[in-house]
């Protein structure tokens, strides 16, 4: 009985191996047939949308890495890829072409690029835009040496944008010319280091510094600019109000101490807005045009004093 059982086991084992061999051969034949007709690939989807196939996952990832490596070059601060690919291994017909270039192009189109530039500022006003921090620092160092007597505050501002057309950077040589032109303008419009950045009123000059008219027995100590009644008068420079009230022939008068021994008088005002002790900046409205005091019509008497001595305002402002 034992002999018969062993014989049957051997028979079934042999038959099993035969069947396994047949299955293995069949699988091999099927695999050969598949690889003759098909090739392995990766199906690529973005946000659930199928967009194509690539041969290898690693090559596409290398291309994406190349896109990301543009950060820090050509004024590119950040790159945020929105179209993140999803991979799925599959088999495709060998005659079917992959479209890796189109997939990469779609990924590049989805990338949100943030650009970075550097603005050179003078007294917080943007004057020129350059590509690098090194260029901005070098420019400021050179301008400080060239215009050592000009009292301004230089600065550097970082500018970020996703719109490459928003900011236009210039060559360093051009940037130096732009900043130098502004500093020259400031230098020409500075009294003892005080920059007259704002014309107090827009009008026409009716009496110049040093002129003699019948209304007075002494040379004119300032500049008369005719303007309509109640026209706003703006501070020409930064400073502190030391007088706001009536003062003899000046009528209603504002006096602003600008530092460095420079004082500016705004006379014949109809109204006074600035108060004693108030700090003002160029462009701040401090009074209104009138004809108070010794005056024959609505105008602003604009007078500059340096260490108590009147100087010609047209050496610094209203030069044209």
Each residue of 12-70: pLDDT tens digit?
Answer: 566 666 666 777 776 776 666 656 677 888 998 988 889 889 988 888 899 889 888 88
> Has residue 311 got a pLDDT over 80?
yes
Give this prediction's pTM.
0.69
Residues 145 and 228 in one domain: no
56-65, 120-129, 155-164, 302-311: segment of lowest average pLDDT:
56-65
Cβ-based neighbours of 159, under 8 Å, separated by 6 or more: 116, 117, 118, 119, 129, 167
Rg (CA), the chain: 41
Write the CA distances from 313 to 125, 165, 249, 285, 320, integer angstroms: 24, 41, 19, 19, 12
Residue with the larger pLDDT of the pair 149 and 212? 149
Residues 105 and 119 in one domain: no
Which structure tokens are listed for 267?
A: 């006379």
Question: Is 95 a domain residue?
Answer: yes
The residue segments making up the domain with residue 222 are 204-315
Residues 123 and 137 in one domain: yes
Q: Alpha carbon 204 to chain centroid distance?
A: 38
Domain end among 56, 89, 110 = 110
User: For position 39, what pLDDT does the model report?
Assistant: 81
Question: Is 40 a domain residue?
Answer: yes
Residues 86 and 168 in one domain: no
Domain end among 188, 221, 243 = 188
Question: Is 3 a domain residue?
Answer: no
Terminal-to-terminal C-alpha distance of the chain: 130
Strand 112-122 to 76-80 pairing: antiparallel
Residues 244 and 153 in one domain: no
Question: Is 298 a domain residue?
Answer: yes
240 CB burial (10 A radius; 0-12, 13-18, 19+): middle
Q: What is the pLDDT of residues 72-125, one digit of tens each?
A: 888 999 999 888 899 998 888 878 888 888 888 888 888 899 999 999 999 889
Mean pLDDT of 161-166: 90
Domain CATH number, residue 224:
2.70.70.10
């Amino acid at each position: 009985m034992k002999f018969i059982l062993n014989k049957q086991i051997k028979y079934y084992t042999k038959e099993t191996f035969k069947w396994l061999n047949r299955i293995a051969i069949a699988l091999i034949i099927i695999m050969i047939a598949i690889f003759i007709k098909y090739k392995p690939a990766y199906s690529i989807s973005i946000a659930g949308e199928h967009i194509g196939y690539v041969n290898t996952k690693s090559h596409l990832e290398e291309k994406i890495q190349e896109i990301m490596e543009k950060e820090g070059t050509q004024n590119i601060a950040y790159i945020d890829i929105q179209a993140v690919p999803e991979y799925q291994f599959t088999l495709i017909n060998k005659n079917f072409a992959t479209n890796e270039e189109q997939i990469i192009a779609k990924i590049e189109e989805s990338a949100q690029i943030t650009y970075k530039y550097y603005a050179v500022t003078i007294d917080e006003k943007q004057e020129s835009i350059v590509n690098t921090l090194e260029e901005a620092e070098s420019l400021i160092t050179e301008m400080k040496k060239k215009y050592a007597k000009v009292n301004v505050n230089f600065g550097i501002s970082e500018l970020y944008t996703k719109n490459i057309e928003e900011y236009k950077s210039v060559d360093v040589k051009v940037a130096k010319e732009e900043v130098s032109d502004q500093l020259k303008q400031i230098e020409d419009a500075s009294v003892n280091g005080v920059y007259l950045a704002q014309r107090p009123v827009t009008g026409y000059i009716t009496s110049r510094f040093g002129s003699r008219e019948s209304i007075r027995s002494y040379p004119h100590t300032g500049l008369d600019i005719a303007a309509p009644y109640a026209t706003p008068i703006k501070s020409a420079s930064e400073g502190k109000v030391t007088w706001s009230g009536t003062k003899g022939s000046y009528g209603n008068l504002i006096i602003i101490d600008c530092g460095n021994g420079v004082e500016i008088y705004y006379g014949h005002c109809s109204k006074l807005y600035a108060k004693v002790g108030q700090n003002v900046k160029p462009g701040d409205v401090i009074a209104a045009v009138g004809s108070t005091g010794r005056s024959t019509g609505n105008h602003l008497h604009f007078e500059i004093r340096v260490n108590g001595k009147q100087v010609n305002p047209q050496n610094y402002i209203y030069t044209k």
